[in-house]
Amino acid sequence: MYLHGTSRINEQGHLEIGGCDTTELAKTYGTPLYVYDETLMREKCRAYNQAFQESGFSYQVAYASKAFLCLEMSRLAAEENMSLDVVSGGELYTALQAEFPAERIHFHGNNKTEAELIMALQADIGCFVVDNFFELEILHDLAKEYGKIVNVLLRVTPGVEAHTHEYITTGQDDSKFGFGISSGQALQAMKIALLKPHYNVLGVHSHIGSQIFETDGFVRAIEVLGTFLESVRTETGHAMKILNLGGGFGIRYTEGDTPLPVANYVKEMTDAVREQFTKREYPLPEIWIEPGRSIVGDAGTTLYTIGSIKEVPGIRKYVAVDGGMTDNIRPALYNASYEAMLANRAYEEPEETVSIAGKCCESGDMLIWDLKLPTVASWDLLAVSCTGAYNYSMANNYNRITRPAVVFVRDAQAHVVVERETFADLVKNDRVRTKEFV
């Protein structure tokens, strides 16, 4: 297993993260346990901020909170001068509870409810990313009703979609998100928005995909956005101040993944914006980006206790852990791959190939296929790396399994930032009907 951030193997042959021995963490807090390397998360935030400072552009780096959010994560992002993307009332609530500066909160989503929009208006958040014609109308009606002038970006689909190593040009802009540029809807939406007195239209937003390793998709999107903004200026006389290029920067989950350093993505993007906008004699915009996975993904490690081991003779050895698709649904959802190691015997050489199964009642509840490990025994501690993004945030209670605790580790100290759910939590919203009804 690749060791990210402060992860190392200590003198006892145990995996250590943030100076904390993972076998001790497991003893103290139980398993499954999400362990976050705080230093690594902060380094990532700083790398983005520094790269933008070097670019000379005005900028905002918004942490896409859907990757992982809790009160302490909001606080960390605020301390690291990040802005914050939220996509629901629940994420917004969490950020506000943590006193995240409202003016640095951006609200995304293709179907924000009226209640969510009102909540965000009342909180005076920094910006709404308007996704569709319905929202364009109702947000404005609400802004008027609440006596606010709101900052808006329009989410547009540039017809470029990036996946890992490649980007594809999607001619028909077949996406549930945003206003299509090629269909003319983006220009139409822009014209409508610019006429609305309770809108302060700041610019456009585009998000072209996730777990992207190359920069060519971003560069292509920037070209399309440059052309689009030029046509907006020609047709309306308005130049836009902000260009939001979304997130999607890749991380290394397994050997085959080859992300670029954070600084390279920023440099290629800012260079492309400078080139495209200078060429069009368009004022250089402020650039916003929205990394999620690349801030928290490789900072997270999940610790599991190994339980039952089943050998299917001649075929496969199933090694079951005390979690699974309830704490990491990504393998079941989209075949995501992970690396893992025995955290209590980290120096031992791999000797067998096993497959890591979860404990849920689904054959598809497999975490890792064909993983090389030292000879595994029940009660060993398995550490799965790179589980910081879209694991806790997608965790669920299937089989009425409780969600694990989350600890942040740094300088040999561990702090619980989310408690383990209890069985009482599982029934706290249940109601038993009265006898008379039955």
Using the contact rule CB under 6 A, the part of the chain among 135-143, 178-186, 288-296, 426-434 near ligand PLP is 288-296
Check binding of 158 to ligand PLP (CB under 6 A).
Answer: no
Strand extents, DSSP E, 220-351: 242-244, 286-289, 300-312, 316-321, 340-342
The angle that helices 38-55 and 71-79 make with each other, rounded to 10 degrees, is 40
CB 165 to ligand PLP: min, Å: 15
Ranges within 385-414 binding ligand PLP (CB under 6 A)? 389
User: One symbol per residue from 105 to 134: x for binding ligand PLP (CB under 6 A), - otherwise; what is it?
Assistant: ---x--------------------------
Using the contact rule CB under 6 A, the part of the chain among 13-21, 178-186, 285-293, 427-435 near ligand PLP is 285-293
Decide if 379 contacts 366 (C-beta within 8 A).
no
Strand partners, 105: 84
| The one among 4, 112, 293, 330 contacting ligand PLP by CB under 6 A | 293
| The one among 32, 158, 292, 300 contacting ligand PLP by CB under 6 A | 292
| The one among 22, 74, 83, 210 contacting ligand PLP by CB under 6 A | 210
28 token code pair: 């103290």
| The one among 67, 96, 187, 273 contacting ligand PLP by CB under 6 A | 67
Cα–Cα distance measured from residue 94 to residue 134, given in angstroms and rounded to the nearest whole number: 26
Q: How many residues bind ligand PLP (CB under 6 A)?
A: 17
Catalytic residue among 45, 70, 361, 386: 361
Decide if 242 contacts 153 (C-beta within 8 A).
yes
Check binding of 14 to ligand PLP (CB under 6 A).
Answer: no
Residue 132 or 210: the one with the smaller Cβ distance to ligand PLP is 210
| The one among 159, 178, 180, 246 contacting ligand PLP by CB under 6 A | 246
Residue 334 or 379: the one with the smaller Cβ distance to ligand PLP is 334
Residue 44 or 359: the one with the smaller Cβ distance to ligand PLP is 44
CB 272 to ligand PLP: min, Å: 18
Cα–Cα distance measured from residue 298 to residue 253, given in angstroms and rounded to the nearest whole number: 7
Check binding of 98 to ligand PLP (CB under 6 A).
Answer: no
337 token code pair: 């791959």
Cα–Cα distance measured from residue 436 to residue 416, given in angstroms and rounded to the nearest whole number: 44
Q: Tell me the helix, strand and coil percentages in the chain, rounded to 5.
A: 35, 25, 40
45 token code pair: 């935030």
Taking the alpha carbons at both ends of the chain, their separation in whole angstroms is 56
Decide if 213 contacts 252 (C-beta within 8 A).
no
| The one among 15, 20, 64, 373 contacting ligand PLP by CB under 6 A | 64
- Max intra-chain CA distance, the chain: 76
| The one among 126, 203, 247, 323 contacting ligand PLP by CB under 6 A | 247
Mapped onto helix, strand or coil, the DSSP state of residue 84 is strand
Q: Is position 361 annotated as part of the catalytic site?
A: yes
Counting every residue, how long is the chain? 438
Decide if 107 contacts 92 (C-beta within 8 A).
yes
Residues that bind ligand PLP (CB under 6 A): 64, 66-67, 85, 108, 207, 210, 246-249, 290-294, 389
Catalytic residues: 361
